[in-house]
């Protein structure tokens, strides 16, 4: 990203999930050089700085869910005054189920630049460790805390074919897994990923029903990322002959040749062209 001397900017810093050795060189550089460092937890920031053997050179301010709305205009004013503001959360990337989106949006609305120093991600780390398909996935963040709202959301996701990734608190994981059994079925493959990159990292790869039983044996500790396999692909239902004839006739009525109409209908319904041809010509 090109920089203009004297122009303020916001830098989002991807922080280690738990192992300080995962900190990037750019994270170290920006923590030391930024004129203002906004941290979700200032004590954890200072502990990280000690672990990395660096000194945070700028003014440190707290920026968390409780003061986000009030502090955002203050930080945007700092950026407008030409200062560099670095935003760091307790782990992972700001804005991803953490404070940050409001400040990013306000900074952009003020016409100031936003950049990022990428870092570890609990989402992709858990996904890779889960043993479940990673080519297409859907990140849902934290589910609703209310049981009824959580079940409603899960029912809406039950037919999703992509692998699903959730964040969950230790004291709610048992209830969430029980609701998954109800809405997704006990046999759906899943993985509970706990304390990622830390000393007591644990990944449990089991069907949802077995994980629900595990969760009732005592409240697990640490941050949890839950990965759940997508629903099996639904079998396509072949339309009946009358529907196929009607689809071809509808296209012919708009001026499409019968040959092209048959090809288009075959493509739309995932059928062989000769199958649609046979239906149309045996009417």
**Looking at the chain, which residues constitute the CATH 3.30.950.10 domain(s)?**
123-228
- What pLDDT shows up at residue 3? 53
- What pLDDT shows up at residue 270? 82
Show the DSSP H helices in 98-139 as ranges.
101-109, 122-130
Q: Hey, is 48 helix, strand or coil?
A: helix
Rounded to the nearest angstrom, the gap between the alpha carbon of residue 155 and the centroid of all alpha carbons in its chain is 19
In this structure, CATH architecture of domain 9-120: 3-Layer(aba) Sandwich (3.40)
- What pLDDT shows up at residue 277? 92
- What pLDDT shows up at residue 268? 82
Q: What is the pLDDT along the chain (283 residues), one digit of tens a residue?
A: 445 656 899 999 999 999 999 999 999 999 999 999 999 999 999 999 999 999 999 999 999 999 999 999 999 999 999 999 999 999 999 999 899 999 999 999 999 999 999 999 999 999 999 999 999 999 999 999 999 999 999 999 999 999 999 999 999 999 999 999 999 999 999 999 999 999 999 999 999 999 999 999 988 988 999 999 999 887 667 788 999 999 999 999 999 999 999 999 988 888 889 999 999 988 6
Q: Count the alpha carbons within 13 Å of 204 in the hemisphere toward its beta carbon.
A: 19
pTM: 0.79
- What pLDDT shows up at residue 2? 45
**Looking at the chain, which residues constitute the CATH 3.40.1010.10 domain(s)?**
9-120
In sequence order, the β-bridge partners of residue 138 are 164
DSSP type of residue 97: S
Q: Hey, is 36 helix, strand or coil?
A: strand
- What pLDDT shows up at residue 283? 61
Assign domain 123-228 to its CATH superfamily: Tetrapyrrole methylase, C-terminal domain (3.30.950.10)
């Amino acid at each position: 990203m090109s920089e203009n001397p004297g122009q303020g900017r916001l830098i989002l810093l991807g922080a280690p999930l738990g192992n300080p050795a995962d900190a990037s060189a750019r994270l170290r550089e920006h923590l030391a050089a930024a004129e203002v460092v906004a941290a979700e937890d200032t004590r954890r920031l200072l502990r990280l700085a000690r672990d990395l053997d660096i000194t945070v050179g700028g003014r440190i301010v707290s920026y968390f869910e409780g003061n986000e709305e009030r502090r955002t205009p203050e930080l945007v004013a700092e950026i407008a005054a030409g200062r560099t503001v670095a935003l760091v959360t307790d782990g992972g990337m700001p804005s991803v189920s953490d404070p940050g989106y409001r400040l990013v949006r306000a900074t952009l609305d003020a016409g100031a630049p936003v950049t990022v120093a990428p870092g570890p991600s609990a989402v992709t780390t858990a996904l890779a460790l889960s043993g479940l398909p990673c080519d297409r996935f859907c990140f849902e963040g934290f589910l609703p805390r209310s049981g009824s709202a959580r079940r409603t959301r899960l029912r809406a996701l039950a037919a999703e074919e992509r692998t699903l990734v959730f964040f969950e608190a230790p004291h709610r994981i048992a209830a969430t897994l029980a609701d998954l059994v109800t809405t997704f079925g006990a046999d759906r493959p899943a993985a509970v990923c706990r304390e990622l990159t830390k000393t007591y990292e644990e990944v449990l790869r089991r069907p949802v029903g077995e994980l629900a039983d595990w969760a009732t044996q005592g409240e697990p500790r640490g941050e949890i990322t839950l990965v759940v396999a997508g629903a099996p692909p639904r079998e396509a239902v072949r339309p009946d002959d009358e529907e196929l004839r009607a689809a071809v006739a509808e296209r012919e009525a708009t001026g499409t040749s019968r040959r092209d109409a048959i090809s288009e209908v075959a493509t739309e319904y995932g059928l062989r062209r000769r199958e649609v041809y046979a239906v149309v010509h045996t009417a």
